[in-house]
Amino acid sequence: MFISSAFAQTAPAAAAGGDLQSSLMSMLPLLLMFVVLYFVMIRPQMKKQKEHKTMIDALAKGDEIITAGGFLGKVSKLGDGYLSVEIANGVEVQMQRSAVVQVLPKGSIK
């Protein structure tokens, strides 16, 4: 009554080589976006992580550091995963090595 009959139609024949080429061309923007993402975001982040790890591994007793919490202090004891930092005369805190953000030049903290 209200619904008309639908008849199946055959799709037009496509060229055999054109189908593969069109699918590769449709994938090209996705591949280009991934390449740009790698060079703009992933690679610099990996480089920054590597530099941070070498800085943490090179920590020594007496180094003056800045922590992720904003504390400035001098490394007094070193452990495998933790270190003790003297933030004031007679005040030592223990924290993870990964909390160190920056190593300052000697004599920066007075």
Domains of the chain, by residue range, sit at 17-58, 60-104
The per-residue pLDDT for range 71-94, each reduced to its tens digit, is 999 999 999 999 999 999 999 999
Question: What confidence tier does 95 reach under pLDDT thresholds 50, 70, 90?
Answer: very high
Q: What angle do CA 96, 99, 104 make, to 5 degrees?
A: 120
Per-residue model confidence (pLDDT) at position 15: 53
pLDDT digits (tens, 9 = 90+) for 50-73: 999 999 999 999 999 999 999 999
What is the pLDDT, as a whole number, of residue 63?
94
Q: What is the pLDDT of residue 23?
A: 85
How far is Cα 38 from Cα 100, in angstroms, rounded to an integer?
27
Question: What fold, for 60-104?
Answer: SH3 type barrels. (2.30.30)
pLDDT at residue 98 is higher than 70: yes
Reported as a single tens digit per residue, the pLDDT across 18-42 is 688 888 888 999 999 999 999 999 9
**How far apart, in whole angstroms, are the C-alpha atoms of residue 18 and residue 30?**
20
Q: Which pLDDT score is estimated for 19?
A: 81
